[in-house]
Amino acid sequence: MDAISSSRRWLLSVAAGAVTGPAVTDRAGSQRHPEGREWSGPWTRESRAAVVRAMPEAVAWARAARWPFGAVLVALDGGAVAAGAANSAEDGDMTAHAEMNLLREAAARGVRLRDHAVVSTAEPCPMCAGALLWAGVPAVAFGTAGARLTALGVPQIDLSFESVARRSSVGPRPAVARGVRADLTDPLYEELARLWRGAGGS
Ligand SMILES: [Zn+2]
């Protein structure tokens, strides 16, 4: 009998600041994946696979939204998707980013956030980063970096998720994965940038 679940072990390793899994960790504590992804923190082979598998579902949420930002909550143990959300800021609440909506959905459903990773099509903005840190999400994975959105001309507050996380004393610092399935997420924002330019946006 497995007396301690793999997600519990994962969380204990988060708390201990340990790094597990087969990837090589450099002095800065980041792991360079052969496919160009970057992993910081105690990702395991299983939790990495879970967030990579879940990204297409986050992209589907994004594709259904006017502003193509989507996010899902995926179980670190087993990879089941527990909830999903898209940006709905066009409905009048400008704080209704995908990650904010996802946290509200998770609260409404009673999902235990500490067993889940948030998988977002784009790097969480400073507002969402703060919310994710206050919520105690142990792992955050995203596709397109905020710097890429800025380069494309998509309006952003230019402060990385990890910059916000470094200034937080709320719980253990979450594990972060950057560039997850960016082959799927970058086109969302390249299309958005084309529409934005076509509409005369700035
Ligand atoms: Zn946001």
Judge whether 99 counts as a catalytic residue: yes
Question: Is the CB of residue 135 less than 8 Å from the CB of residue 100?
Answer: no
Mean pLDDT of 37-47: 94
CA distances from 71 to 17, 37, 74, 96, 199 (A): 26, 18, 10, 12, 26
Whole-prediction pTM value?
0.82
Q: What is the whole-number distance in angstroms between the Cα of residue 112 and the centre of ligand 1? A: 21
Q: What is the whole-number distance in angstroms between the Cα of residue 6 and the centre of ligand 1? A: 30
Q: Which two tokens stand for residue 94?
A: 């400008």
pLDDT the model gives residue 198: 80
Mean pLDDT of 10-32: 41
**Looking at 99, 105, 123, 190, which residue is catalytic?**
99
Rounded Cα distance between 99 and 89, Å, is: 12
Q: What is the whole-number distance in angstroms between the Cα of residue 157 and the centre of ligand 1? A: 9
Q: Which two tokens stand for residue 146?
A: 């905020």
pLDDT the model gives residue 31: 52
pLDDT the model gives residue 90: 85
Q: Which two tokens stand for residue 196?
A: 């934005």
Question: What pLDDT digit, counting tens, does each position of 51-78 carry?
Answer: 999 999 999 999 999 999 999 999 999 9
pLDDT the model gives residue 200: 64
